[in-house]
Structure 1
């Protein structure tokens, strides 16, 4: 029985090693990527914005259809928030919202990839304002392409929603009609391109 258990353990390790053996590491190309968000304003419209400074990497193997070897980690400089309005951006950086003085970074670390039918989901831990919560993003892989210099590029889109209250971003005002000035649900869109490390 002990021999069988050892063999099973070794086989599991080998299977894990093989599953990730062909996954290449890509550095995120921030020039050709974007980290964006939208939130409903006063019930009737949506305000959009981006974070201009971020970095990270992802492991990707286009032959791994289930994404078992795929991983990613991204670090965002929260002070780089840009909604196209300086006064609003300053308010977002304040303690009412992101509190960048005490929490300058937002970090996402993937924990697994799930496939359901033709759909892929990126599951990971998002840390914002010192609070870490598990988030689930719909993932679309765009494959790989080689540039004229022989560098391999890979890209994907990830979309999802979070409740900002879960991360302690709780500032708000209530309209006379009962709606919120800033909705609690935030839509996230990541357009990511990476270049394979050599």
Structure 2
């Protein structure tokens, strides 16, 4: 009888170990930022203050991770109210009609010890494009409550014209006031759920 109980216990542990763990975003220790060249000479930066994300993974190296992320477009903040209103308008995000940006992963490939290539579908303004992020795993640690945290930094460049953010005013010399290429940087900390 003891052997049967022991076998059942081992089987249960193996089943739990093989189940994907859910990791939820710790927004207090995360950020979603972007930068774009202004008038060919400098970079203007901004951020989004409202976003959420989760991923599921059963493997310790996260290579089976399934990631879902969304950003509230209305939360855009570039430290200039007039510019933020313009970015929310139909010239750019058209936030009233398309209030969310979303990302759904299709593949998470380990490149070396702590670098990954994240592939997935990015949807902005109702348009979905395949997008790749270069990701660095900062590591994992346990807090005083016994919860496991994992930190990641992800970066990509996107062409805003691909997503119909096509406002295009020229400078006197013919250059773009706002460049079409946007640098996106995410610093994300996740907490493993019980």
Tell me if both proteins adopt one fold, taking TM over 0.5 as the criterion.
Answer: yes
- Out of 51-60 and 120-129, give the one that drifted further: 51-60
Segments of structure 1 that go 5 or more residues without pairing to the other structure are 1-17
Distance in 2, Cα, partners of 1:158 & 1:61: 21
Distance in 2, Cα, partners of 1:61 & 1:145: 17
Alignment partner for residue 181 of structure 2, among 156, 162, 185? 185
Q: Could you list the per-position Cα deviations for residues 58-81 of structure 1 after superposition, in whole angstroms to 9, with x for gaps in the alignment?
A: 2246732xx431121111100000
Matched residue, 1:127: 123
**8 A contact 1:62–1:143 mirrored in 2:** no
Distance in 1, Cα, partners of 2:84 & 2:74: 9
Matched residue, 1:107: 102
Q: Tell me how large the CA RMSD over aligned residues is.
A: 1.8
Distance in 2, Cα, partners of 1:60 & 1:144: 14
SS of the aligned residue for 1:165 comes to helix
1:59 and 2:24 are equivalent in the alignment: no
Number of corresponding residues: 178
Distance in 2, Cα, partners of 1:62 & 1:34: 25
Matched residue, 1:14: none
Alignment partner for residue 44 of structure 1, among 41, 44, 64? 41
Query: CA shift at 1:176, angstroms?
Result: 1.8
Segments of structure 2 that go 5 or more residues without pairing to the other structure are 1-14
Distance in 2, Cα, partners of 1:109 & 1:90: 27
